[in-house]
Amino acid sequence: MSFDMLLRPKSIAVIGASSDPGKVGNNVLVNIVNGGYEGSIYPINPRAYTINGIRCYPAIKDVPGEIDLAVIVIKRDLVIPMLKQCAEKSIKAVIVITAGFAETGEEGKKLQAEIQHIVKEVSIR
């Protein structure tokens, strides 16, 4: 499988995007925009209609068209269900930015192993 979806995505969803400048979801979105990214950007947040002037979607399934890359910036316990939604949307590359996995002990290691199993099973990079 090619890494193009990860390294040169034509569209990016920021799952957990936020209008709060103190949150990582805002920082990721702002950095994508300010970095000069020219593709489609889809902030995902069920409580916002727009974030930083960009149309927001309540769920990944609500985004029209294809998404090459999803950047997941949500609580640890929501990551696995979100990965499954990304697989349903046929997203081929995902970056997870959160804590609480192998670095936190046995429970976190089990969750990380589950993530590895899911992405391998559905061919997500």
Contact (CB, 8 A) for 11 and 68: yes
Q: What is the pLDDT averaged over residues 90-117? A: 89
Range of the domain at 19: 4-121
What pLDDT sits at residue 5?
79
* Report field, pTM of the whole predicted structure over 0.85: yes
What pLDDT sits at residue 51?
95
CB-based burial, 3-23: b 16+ in 10 Å, e otherwise: eebbeebebbbbbbbbbeeee
Instruction: Copy the structure tokens of residue 83.
Output: 């990965």
Nearest-5° angle of CA 37, CA 39, CA 44? 95
Q: How many domains does the chain have?
A: 1
Residue 42 burial by Cβ neighbours in a 10 Å radius (0-12, 13-18, 19+) = buried
Q: What is the pLDDT averaged over residues 22-27? A: 95
pLDDT 10s digits, 104-125: 888 888 988 888 998 888 888 8
CB-based burial, 44-83: b 16+ in 10 Å, e otherwise: bbeebeebbebebbeebeebeeebbbbbbbbebeebeebb
What pLDDT sits at residue 99?
86
Q: What is the CATH number of the domain that holds 98?
A: 3.40.50.720
pLDDT 10s digits, 37-89: 999 999 999 999 999 999 999 999 999 989 999 999 999 899 999 999 999 99
